Amino acid sequence: MDRPSPGVTPAGAAGVARARLPETEAVLRMRHAVREWLLRYRPEGAVAVALSGGADSLALTAAALAEADQVDALIIDHGLQEGSAVVAAEAAEIARRLGCRAVRMRRVSVTGPGGPEAAARQVRYAALDELRDGLPVLVGHTLDDQAETVLLGLARGSGQRSIQGMAGYDEPWGRPLLGVRRAVTREMCRDLGLDPHEDPHNAAPEFARVRLRTEVLPLLEEVLGGGVAPALARTAAQLREDGEALDAIADRLLIDARDGSSLSVETLATVPPAIRRRVIRAWLLDGGAKALTDRHLRAVESLITDWHGQGGVAVGGGMPGIRLVARRERGRLTLAFAR
C-alpha cells in the first residue's frame, strides 16, 4: 500500500477530496498562484499536469490537487538518459500517492531538427497533446523560466513578440507559476517531504538556457543590484498586454483589408507600421505560412510601402521544391505556392 509523503494527507481513495497540505509560506504561495489561474481560466472541472518528477512539476501537482476539482498526471519519458524509465515510474508513484485521479505515461523517441533541446520539446508537447484527453495541461514554468525566455528573445532580436515571454494560458497549455520563483517550488517540495529528480540536462553548459541560468542572470543580478528576473518577467507581462491590444486592432483591420484571399494595398498603406505588420502576419499565417520572422514581415511590408516593381517574397510554409510566395498584383497582395 502506498504511504503518504511526510506532511501530506492523501486525497482519498477516489482521489476527489482536496489534498490537505501544511500551511507553510511556500505552500500558500503556490496554492495562491494555482488558485488565481484556475479562477481566471478553469473555474471548475479537471486539469492535467505535465509531471517530470522535477521540483517545479512536483510542487505544481501538489498545489493543483489542493485547488482543482480533479487532476490527471501526464508523464513523458524522453529516453535520453540511462534510468529515465525509473524516473518516470517514480514520478507516477508520487502522483498516485498525492491523489491524482489518473496517471498517463508515454515513452517517446526524440528526433527532429533544431538540436536535442528543441526536438525533445517538440515531441514532448505532441505527446502531452495526445494524452491530455481534452483537458488543459498545466506546466511548471516559473518566473525564472520567463526571465530566461525574455533574454533569449532579446538575443534573437525579432521584435516585441519575441520578448513577450510565455503566456499564462496558450490553449491548451497553462502556466500558473509565471509569478513564482523556482526557489519556492523547491521549498515546497522540502515542506512536503518530496525528493525531486534533478535532470542533469538542467546543468549542462552546452545548452544556451543553462548558461543564461547559471552564468548570465547571476552576473546581471550582481551588476544591477538584484531584482533582474522579476523585472524581466514584468516587462514580458506588460509587452504581452500591449501586444494583445495591438493584435485586436489588427484583427479588425484585417477584415477591412481583405479582398477575397488577397489584401488591399490601399487600406494598409497609411496605417502605423506596428499594426500593418500584425495584419500581414495574421494574413500570412492564415495562408499557410510557418516560422515567420521579422525579416519575412518587413520584406512583405515593403511590397506596400516601398513598391518599385520588385518580385515576390518567399515565406516559410512551402514544401520541398515548392515555395509560398507573397506578391503585389494590381493593388493587392496575393499569396500562392510556386515552384
Q: Please report, in range form, the residues annotated as the binding site.
A: 52-57
- Which three cell numbers, joined as nine digits, stand for 281? 502576419
Q: Please say whether the beta carbons of 180 and 11 come within 8 A.
A: no
Other CB atoms closer than 10 Å to residue 206's CB: what's the count? 10
Could you tell me the sign of the dihedral formed by the alpha carbons of 108, 109, 114, 117, in that order? positive
Q: Please say whether the beta carbons of 194 and 94 come within 8 A.
A: yes
Q: Degrees (nearest 5) of the Cα angle 96, 100, 102?
A: 90
- Which three cell numbers, joined as nine digits, stand for 307? 513598391
Q: Alpha-carbon distance 155 to 134, whole Å?
A: 35
Task: Give me the residues paired with residue 104 across strands.
Answer: 74
For the chain, the C-alpha Rg in angstroms (whole number) is 23
| Chain position carrying cell 485547488 | 67
Give binding residues for ATP as ranges: 52-57
**Strand residues in 249-331 grouped as ranges (E):** 258-259, 262-264, 313-319, 322-329
The three-state secondary structure class of 168 is coil
Q: Alpha-carbon distance 297 to 325, whole Å?
A: 12
Of 118, 169, 177, the residue nearest 145 (C-alpha):
177
Q: Please say whether the beta carbons of 98 and 65 come within 8 A.
A: yes
Cα dihedral 281→285→290→292 (10° resolution): 0
Q: Alpha-carbon distance 13 to 127, whole Å?
A: 28
Residues 6+ apart with CB under 8 A from 254: 279, 282, 283
